[in-house]
Amino acid sequence: MAKNLAIARFFFYLCIMMNEKLIFVTNDDSYASKGFKAAIEVARHFGRVVAIAPDTVQSGKSQAITICDTLRLKHISSSEGVEIYSLNGTPVDCVKFAFDYFLKGQKIDLTISGVNHGPNSAANVLYSGTMGAAIESAFYGVPSIGLSNLDHNWDAEFDTCVEYGIRIAESVLSSDLPRPLCLNVNIPILPVEQIKGIKACRQTKGFWIDNILERTDPMGGKYYWLTGGFNNAEPDAEDSDEWALKNGYVAVVPVQVDLTAYDQLNILSKTLK
Amino acid sequence: MAKNLAIARFFFYLCIMMNEKLIFVTNDDSYASKGFKAAIEVARHFGRVVAIAPDTVQSGKSQAITICDTLRLKHISSSEGVEIYSLNGTPVDCVKFAFDYFLKGQKIDLTISGVNHGPNSAANVLYSGTMGAAIESAFYGVPSIGLSNLDHNWDAEFDTCVEYGIRIAESVLSSDLPRPLCLNVNIPILPVEQIKGIKACRQTKGFWIDNILERTDPMGGKYYWLTGGFNNAEPDAEDSDEWALKNGYVAVVPVQVDLTAYDQLNILSKTLK
């Protein structure tokens, strides 16, 4: 079985070398993050890499775009097959800037966004800048993988993320999965050999309960910090991403870009006058 | 028919007076916008109003939250039944601050977000700060209406928005529409008497084509502006919100907060190894 896999991989990379892919990489933790380097490591397996990431941390920026301000690009480094830039905008700005300007006219085969420092499972998908960029890419018809490490730490280990990022990117590039395709991939804090497998899941139902911290500044003025935690409304649901992560699986949720609640259309048509 | 409607409205407001509602108002164009005043006008019909809006324009902020910075609240004004505040954060920050701190423990009956200066139809729902706040409210179980005027101008007319905002809020408050409920309401630039009616629609398929403008600063450095336009992939689809708006209807799209692409789950389970 392992031999078959090795042979399959050999032919897969042979095909890639003969028909080199263009992989776009971005994230929301900035170009300086360890997770960004891990995402580039994943992307390098498949061909040429162009990476444009925010110049500062853009966590929680969702699908925000910069309308009222200007953007500036900075070249960070170039080495064989890998070009890295920073942009003073949001993750979605990076996608738009790359797809409609910097790489305009070139066929982009895949976007890898991340690897995020911290989970983007369940409702986090709505706030995440990493997933905002992944959703944006899918909008352009370019399949995307948002990768998130459950470990928040700036010096987190990314070996498991790289290993599974490569596996999932292989599946996306070598199969006829439907389009638009945007995968929200979360990876438990476990060494590779302890991962039980990859599980396709749905977004866990639940919501954030925010804890607004009130503080007083040295001048006597009040200010606040937004903190909180996710309240899982269905901890025992085996088809949810939170369950998969708690049970040692890499959780993959396919994300849609059409927000219409189709099941409510009929009743709305009857109710609204 | 008009008489019956008048009688129905009379009893509706009688019920409200006997059981006063609490309406939360926010937006993304700031507390100083004309659209914000229009949203408060809608909300005042139904009971007590608490309005907290960003202190600066937050267009395109999607569902962004403030993680790495602090928030400050400022009292703007209080008059009979209407309290207005500003917050130096995003529209979603305003919802979280209100629901988990400022109004904590109080039953909020409805959120009105807007009235936005400019459309949030089709794919705009993903980038819109107005709709970000509306989605956030629905997450808390509080039904929400995001109102958007197709007119971008700062001095736009809001009479039609107020009239239809009230009608739709009446429907939401007096019916048993399913929960979570988040309505994306867009209103054409037409006087009330020329509106053909309210139409429940789905999100139009299509995407933004961005036009990145390159400029040179006085020091010779390059900078960029993100501009563009929406490319409607289905201009003749009569069940889409763009079609409804072009044909003189107020368009109402029910928005969901679960982003799972359920139709892709099966094939993903088979493909990912």
- Reported ipTM: 0.88
**Does B213 contact chain A (CB < 8 Å)?**
no
User: Would strands A144-149 and A110-117 be described as parallel, antiparallel, or unpaired?
Assistant: parallel
What's the mean pLDDT in A188-194?
98
Between chains, do A126 and B140 touch, taking CB under 8 Å as contact?
Answer: no
In a domain, residue A212? The reply is no
Q: Tell me what pLDDT residue B175 has.
A: 83
> Model confidence over A74-115: pLDDT tens digits?
999 999 899 999 999 999 999 999 999 999 999 999 999 999
Cα B79 to its chain centre, rounded Å, is 24
Residue of B28, B29, B65 to mutate, interface with A, max A Cβ within 10 Å: B65
Picking from B171, B228, B264, the nearest residue to A273 by CB comes out as: B171
- Residue A13, number of CB atoms within 10 A of its CB: 13
Rounded Cα distance, A204 and A253, in Å: 10
Domain count, chain A: 1
Indicate if the pLDDT at residue A11 is higher than 70.
Answer: no
Rounded Cα distance, A241 and A253, in Å: 7
List Cβ neighbours of A213 (8 Å cut-off, separation of 6 or more): A224, A225, A227
In a domain, residue B226? The reply is no
Which chain A residue is nearest to residue B64, measuring alpha carbons?
A: A61
**Does A18 contact chain B (CB < 8 Å)?**
no
List Cβ neighbours of B72 (8 Å cut-off, separation of 6 or more): A221, A222, A223, A224, B87, B88
**Does A224 contact chain B (CB < 8 Å)?**
yes
Q: Could you tell me the two tokens for B185?
A: 């309401």
> Model confidence over B97-143: pLDDT tens digits?
999 999 999 999 999 999 999 999 999 999 999 999 999 999 899 99
Residue B59: its chain A contacts at CB < 8 A? Answer: 67-68
> Residue B125 sits in which domain range?
2-206+236-271
Rounded Cα distance, B2 and A103, in Å: 59
**Does B166 contact chain A (CB < 8 Å)?**
no
**Is the Cα dihedral A31, A34, A38, A41 positive or negative?**
positive
**Is the Cα dihedral B52, B58, B62, B66 positive or negative?**
negative
Percent of chain B whose pLDDT exceeds 90: 82
Confidence of residue A12 (pLDDT cuts 50, 70, 90): low
Question: Pick from B180, B175, B183: which is nearest to B203 by CA?
Answer: B183
Between chains, do A127 and B215 touch, taking CB under 8 Å as contact?
Answer: no
Picking from A57, A252, A268, the nearest residue to B272 by CB comes out as: A252
Indicate if the pLDDT at residue B40 is higher than 70.
Answer: yes
In a domain, residue A98? The reply is yes
**Does A57 contact chain B (CB < 8 Å)?**
yes
Q: Tell me what pLDDT residue B10 has.
A: 61
**Does A246 contact chain B (CB < 8 Å)?**
no
Picking from A68, A168, A261, the nearest residue to B272 by CB comes out as: A168
Tell me how far CA of residue B116 lies from CA of A156, B42, B133, B205, in angstroms.
Answer: 41, 13, 12, 21
**A1-15, A138-152, B39-53, B78-92: the lowest-pLDDT one:** A1-15
Rounded Cα distance, B199 and B246, in Å: 12
Which spans in A86-149 are helix H?
91-97, 124-127, 129-139
> What angle is formed at CA A137 by the lines to CA A80 and CA B92, rounded to 5 degrees?
125
Picking from A66, A200, A258, the nearest residue to B269 by CB comes out as: A200
Contact status, residue A33 vs residue A117, Cβ threshold 8 Å: yes
Picking from A89, A201, A271, the nearest residue to B175 by CB comes out as: A271
**Does A210 contact chain B (CB < 8 Å)?**
yes
Picking from A96, A212, A265, the nearest residue to B200 by CB comes out as: A265
Confidence of residue A13 (pLDDT cuts 50, 70, 90): low
Residue B202: its chain A contacts at CB < 8 A? Answer: 258, 260, 262, 265
Q: Could you tell me the two tokens for A220?
A: 């006597």
Question: Pick from A115, A131, A109: which is nearest to A163 by CA?
Answer: A115
**Does A64 contact chain B (CB < 8 Å)?**
yes
Contact status, residue B136 vs residue A210, Cβ threshold 8 Å: no
Question: Pick from A237, A11, A228: which is nearest to B258 by CA?
Answer: A237
Rg of chain A's alpha carbons, rounded to an integer? 20
In a domain, residue A218? The reply is no
Of the two residues B67 and B210, the one the predictor is more confident about is B67
Residues in chain B: 273
Helix axes B159-174, B2-18, angle to 10 degrees: 70
CATH code of the domain containing A181: 3.40.1210.10
**A98-102, B14-18, B199-203: the lowest-pLDDT one:** B14-18
Contact status, residue B190 vs residue B215, Cβ threshold 8 Å: no
In a domain, residue A230? The reply is no
Indicate if the pLDDT at residue A167 is higher than 60.
Answer: yes
Per 3-state DSSP, chain B is made up of helix, strand and coil in percentages (nearest 5) of 35, 30, 35
Residue A268: its chain B contacts at CB < 8 A? Answer: 177, 183, 200, 252, 254
| CA distance, residue A229 to nearest chain B CA (Å) | 12
pLDDT mean across residues, chain B: 92
Q: Which B positions 116-155 lie with beta carbon below 8 A of chain A? A: 123, 125-127, 129, 132, 135, 139-140
Picking from B93, B127, B175, the nearest residue to A63 by CB comes out as: B127
DSSP B18-31: HT-EEEEEE-SS-T
Rounded Cα distance, B27 and B10, in Å: 29
User: Would strands B206-216 and B182-187 be described as parallel, antiparallel, or unpaired?
Assistant: unpaired
Q: Tell me what pLDDT residue A1 has.
A: 45
**Does B253 contact chain A (CB < 8 Å)?**
yes
Q: Tell me what pLDDT residue B208 has.
A: 79
Residue A221: its chain B contacts at CB < 8 A? Answer: 72
Helix axes A34-44, A159-174, angle to 10 degrees: 40
Q: Which B positions 24-53 lie with beta carbon below 8 A of chain A? A: none
Contact status, residue A265 vs residue B254, Cβ threshold 8 Å: yes
Contact status, residue B61 vs residue B26, Cβ threshold 8 Å: no
In a domain, residue B213? The reply is no
